[in-house]
Amino acid sequence: MEGFAEKLAHKLHHYSVLPWDDDQGTIAALDPLVLTNYTFFLIIAFVVTLVFFLVAAQKVDLVPQGIGNVVEAGYEFIRNLCVDNMGREGLKFAPFIGTLFFFILFNNAIGLIPGSLPGTGSIGVTATWAVMVFIVYNAIGFKKNGFIGYLKSFIPSGVREMPAFGRFTLGPFIFLLEVVGHFLRPLTLAVRLYANMFAGGIILGIFGIFMILGAQQLGALGITMTGFGLIMLVIMYAFKVFVAFIQAYVFAILTSVYIGGALHASEH
Amino acid sequence: MLVGVAYAAEEGESAISVVPVLADVWPSIVAFVILFLLLKKFAFGPISNVLEKRADSIKESLEKAEETRVEAERLLDEYKEQMAAARLEAGKIVDQSRKAAESMKEEIVAKANDEAAQVIEKAREAIEAEKQAAMVELQSSVADLSVAVAGKLLGEKLSPADHAALIDKYLSEVGGMNDN
């Protein structure tokens, strides 16, 4: 299976963060100003998202028409998501959640095109956004509840109402747990999106390689391998389309849940 | 897969980078912030406005429709009342007319009957008078004739032929009188 390993290694190499203009990928330590293979597709997704919304927004009118309907339904979906998770005051965060959702969705969708990569398939990209979400929701929490008020909300009201002994033994422990939990949020956000998009490409690559290797074999084994590879490729591709949407949705809904939690921190 | 990673690692780099690379970090934050600002100003803002405006206009339309419906119902009730009143009035008028026509008819028929009775009565009276006059005349004629006949019988001897001629004459005279 030397051939398989070599091809897989090449495939994996293709999914590494590499300078865009260096196909061989000989530069390991990247210059921060170089255009990488992921940022190249990130910028394409940026342009596509921007153009799509700027064009579609022109078509949105009191009487909706054409593509205006699509973008309107999309934004209405985001508004509903915001209201569901944050209440009426969440509507003012709809542009933020909407940008996150649609930018991630367009990145994921562009990654579906054979030969391209999803901008979200790089941990550098997803971690940046996850940290941004972390900063945004905590800033909202501090602003809304006051510095002490927000920190106090890390200890559940049940513990705060305990007798002094329970409050001072259990309180710091739960506070610590809660802080750790908050810091885990950006980590899970980043890794979930990155791993899903990255693995989607790898899985397609594996079945693709499987097909090619099968085609190089003669006889029943070759036919079986190629057929299996093809079927799995189609199934996995369909799954990848599904995942592209779901992961954008998960990122957006978790962000809105975090902001909602920060907004209503003093209530629980 | 391990083989693959090892293979790539031999070339002096990791196959899967799990450490964020700075070259990926700043473009993603810059792209996001620019996209957020532009979309908020030129896409999400206007779309929100349209959605809210539409919600308002639908609400307004519904309210107006409700108002119109209430007004229409009120008018319908009013018209129904008026209709009922008009129908009652019409019934009364028809009734009155019928009664008037009935009484008029009776009056006319009674009058006609009266007139007819009067005409018949007059006619009968006229006939009676004529008859009386005729009788009186006839009686006087018969008396005259009898006197003449007696005179003649006394004045001349009558042959059987004269007798017959006399009778004829008498008869014709009587007949001529009757013709009058």
Instruction: State both tokens at B126.
Output: 């006229």
Instruction: State both tokens at A33.
Output: 């100003």
Residue B103 banded pLDDT, cuts 50, 70, 90: very high
ipTM of the complex: 0.86
Q: Which residues of A touch B48 (CB under 8 A)?
A: 75, 79, 91, 94
Query: Which of B1, B14, B17 is most worth mutating to test chain A (most A CB atoms within 10 A of its CB)?
Result: B17
Q: Using DSSP, state whether A161 is helix, strand or coil.
A: coil
Between B154 and A76, the higher pLDDT residue: A76
Instruction: State both tokens at A217.
Output: 């074999």
Q: Which residues of A touch B29 (CB under 8 A)?
A: 128-129, 132
* Mean pLDDT, chain B, integer: 84
* % chain B with pLDDT above 90: 52
Residue B13 banded pLDDT, cuts 50, 70, 90: very low
Report the alpha-carbon distance of residue B25 to residue A34 in Å, rounded.
11
**pLDDT < 70 regions, chain A:** 1-3, 10-14, 20-30, 268
Between B66 and A37, the higher pLDDT residue: B66
Q: Which residues of A touch B25 (CB under 8 A)?
A: 124-125, 127-128
Instruction: State both tokens at A155.
Output: 């200890």
Q: Calculate ∠ Cα A218-A222-A225, nearest 5°.
A: 175
Report DSSP state, residue B42: I
Cα A22 to Cα A14, A63, A107, B160, distances in angstroms? 11, 50, 22, 185
Cα A131 to Cα A4, B28, B29, distances in angstroms? 38, 12, 10
C-alpha distance across the termini of chain B, in Å: 160
Between B156 and B59, the higher pLDDT residue: B59
Q: Is A28 on the interface with B (CB under 8 A)?
A: yes
Q: How close B70 comes to chain A (CA, Å)?
A: 27
Residue B179 scores a pLDDT above 90: no
Residues B111 and B104 sit within 8 Å (Cβ to Cβ): no
Q: How close A91 comes to chain B (CA, Å)?
A: 10
pLDDT for res B71: 95
C-alpha distance across the termini of chain A, in Å: 58
Nearest to B47 among A28, A49, A75 (CB): A75
Report the alpha-carbon distance of residue A130 to residue A153 in Å, rounded.
22
Neighbours of A25 (CB within 10 A): 16
Pick the closest to residue A38 from B161, B43, B44, B23 (CA basis).
Answer: B23
Which positions 41-80 of B are in contact with A (Cβ < 8 Å)? 42-48, 50-51, 53-54, 57
Q: Is A6 on the interface with B (CB under 8 A)?
A: yes
Report DSSP state, residue A19: B
Q: Hey, what amino acid is at B44?
A: F
Angle between helices B2-10 and A2-14 (to 10 degrees): 70
pLDDT for res A138: 94
Between B23 and B156, the higher pLDDT residue: B23
Q: How close B78 comes to chain A (CA, Å)?
A: 38
Give A201-239 pLDDT, tens digit per residue.
888 888 888 888 888 877 888 888 888 888 988 999 999
Residue B141 banded pLDDT, cuts 50, 70, 90: confident
